[in-house]
């Protein structure tokens, strides 16, 4: 892309971000929803005048997977209260691991039998879809204004789950994708064992790079001004992410660990946290604008029934997983969650960057990739235009 085109694109994104921030409170819609709608309107208007937006599948994938994703994960980890997270680690960890597995499995079962097309939409497709829809996204959750009206303990459960289940979702998706791409179905057991080893290697490798980056960051950030701390954190987060990917480890885990370590040392109201919050809001806003600009009408005209089925399946699976995991914890917990709290947590999980990033990884040689991509965009769109706007009407300020 030429420099002039980059400058015009930057100016357009800046104008859209400003417009969304100005318009959202006036029409009483969440800012991410307005960002998505403005992106869709702007892109279609430009295309109607015969102008090529320059947005391509591969460019969008690279931008989200190699830049936006590490920034959003690192920022969510940096901003979360580490001490409070440790106190809630039992509930957060259970939701992020067992809850995600339950959501993935149940969503896959519902999709497979409801779509009822074993050749066009086999078990592999159902499991891949379940995995990418099960992951709630930290940026999608924390960007909502209603998060401030939720009880602090529930808000922490939501933020912590969304943060920690990124690693589970990405690795689980990778395992299932390896099985789906296996040329010999009879070798599925061997592929699964290899994928299980990959799971361990990705987690441990990401943990190693995250610890190294976090340790280095803590040393470099001492007595540095806030602006320098911002650039140090960004460089280390992106460096740890891409170093992990280079050795086939989990970049998401690396960013998560690095963000938790550096955020733990930062003052709650420090300038660097405010700067990271601004960067996260900007990145998240650009992501939703670009999502609106790349969505196509054919996704809904050709795959509308599959999208509706997926929405119903993931909502059902989410409620079952939350009630089963947190319900079981009430038997041993000294501070059990109430039925109303579990219902709220079931409602408030939202999909975002993780879902979009994962679906863009799908190889186009898979015959069902278009169906899965349409479903993913449809579910994220449902969360943006249906779930997010009605949440303020349901949540009572604490």
Among 122, 208, 130, 124, which Cα is nearest to 169's?
130
Query: Is residue 133 a contact partner of residue 372, using CB atoms and an 8 Å limit?
Result: no
Among 106, 151, 141, which Cα is nearest to 349's?
141
Q: Does residue 30 sit within a domain? A: no
Could you tell me the two tokens for 113? 């039998």
State pTM to two decimals. Answer: 0.83
Q: Does residue 10 sit within a domain? A: no
Instruction: Write phi, then psi, for 381 (nearest 5 degrees).
Output: -65, -40
What is the predicted pLDDT for the residue at 149? Answer: 62
Segments in the chain below pLDDT 70:
1-2, 5, 52-59, 138-150, 183-195, 223-226, 265-270, 331-335, 396-398
Q: Does residue 115 sit within a domain? A: yes
What is the predicted pLDDT for the residue at 195? Answer: 65
What is the predicted pLDDT for the residue at 59? Answer: 66
What total of structural domains would you count in the chain? Answer: 1
CB 140: neighbour CB atoms within 10 A?
26
Q: Does residue 32 sit within a domain? A: no
Q: Does residue 8 sit within a domain? A: no
**What domain range is 215 assigned to?**
54-394
What is the predicted pLDDT for the residue at 209? Answer: 95
Taking the CA atoms of the chain, what radius of gyration do you get in angstroms?
20
Give the residue ranges of DSSP H helices in the chain: 3-27, 31-48, 57-63, 69-79, 82-87, 89-94, 100-115, 123-134, 138-142, 152-180, 188-220, 226-246, 251-265, 271-294, 298-329, 339-348, 353-359, 369-382, 388-394
What is the predicted pLDDT for the residue at 306? Answer: 94
pLDDT digits (tens, 9 = 90+) for 298-342: 888 889 999 999 999 999 999 999 989 888 877 666 667 778 878
Question: Residues in the chain, how many?
Answer: 398
Q: Does residue 198 sit within a domain? A: yes
CATH for 105? 1.20.1530.20
Query: Is residue 380 a contact partner of residue 356, using CB atoms and an 8 Å limit?
Result: yes
Q: Does residue 11 sit within a domain? A: no
CB 5: neighbour CB atoms within 10 A?
12
Distance CA 353, CA 266 (A): 26
Q: Does residue 9 sit within a domain? A: no
């Amino acid at each position: 892309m030429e420099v002039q085109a980059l400058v015009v694109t930057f100016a357009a994104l800046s104008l859209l971000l400003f417009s969304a921030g100005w318009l959202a409170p006036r029409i009483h819609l969440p800012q991410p929803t307005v960002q998505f709608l403005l992106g869709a309107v702007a892109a279609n208007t430009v295309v109607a005048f015969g102008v090529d937006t320059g947005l391509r599948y591969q460019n969008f994938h690279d931008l989200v997977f190699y830049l936006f994703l590490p920034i959003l994960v690192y920022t969510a980890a940096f901003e979360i209260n580490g001490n409070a997270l440790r106190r809630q680690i039992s509930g957060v960890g259970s939701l992020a691991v067992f809850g995600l597995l339950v959501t993935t499995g149940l969503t896959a079962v519902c999709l497979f039998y409801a779509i009822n097309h074993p050749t066009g939409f086999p078990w592999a497709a159902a499991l891949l879809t379940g995995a990418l829809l099960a992951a709630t996204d930290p940026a999608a959750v924390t960007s909502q204004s209603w998060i401030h009206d939720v009880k602090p303990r529930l808000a922490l459960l939501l933020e912590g789950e969304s943060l920690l289940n990124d690693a589970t979702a990405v690795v689980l998706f990778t395992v299932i994708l390896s099985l789906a791409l296996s040329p010999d179905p009879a070798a599925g057991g061997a592929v699964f064992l290899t994928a299980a080893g990959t799971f361990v290697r990705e987690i441990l490798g990401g943990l190693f790079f995250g610890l190294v980056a976090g340790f280095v960051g803590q040393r470099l950030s001492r007595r540095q001004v806030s602006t320098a701390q911002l650039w140090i954190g960004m460089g280390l987060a992106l460096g740890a992410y891409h170093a992990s990917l280079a050795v086939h480890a989990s970049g998401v885990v690396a960013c998560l660990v690095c963000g938790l370590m550096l955020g733990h040392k930062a003052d709650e109201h420090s300038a660097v946290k405010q700067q990271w919050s601004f960067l996260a809001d900007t990145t998240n806003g650009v992501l939703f604008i670009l999502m609106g600009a790349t969505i196509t009408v054919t996704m809904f005209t050709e795959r509308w029934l599959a999208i509706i089925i997926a929405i119903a399946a993931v909502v059902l699976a989410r409620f079952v997983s939350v009630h089963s995991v947190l319900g079981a914890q009430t038997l041993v917990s000294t501070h059990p969650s109430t039925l109303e709290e579990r219902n709220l947590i079931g409602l408030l999980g939202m999909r975002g960057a993780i879902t979009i990033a994962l679906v863009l990884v799908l190889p186009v040689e898979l015959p069902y990739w278009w169906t899965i991509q349409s479903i993913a965009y449809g579910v994220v769109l449902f969360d943006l235009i249906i779930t997010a706007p009605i949440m303020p009407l349901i949540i009572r300020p604490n």
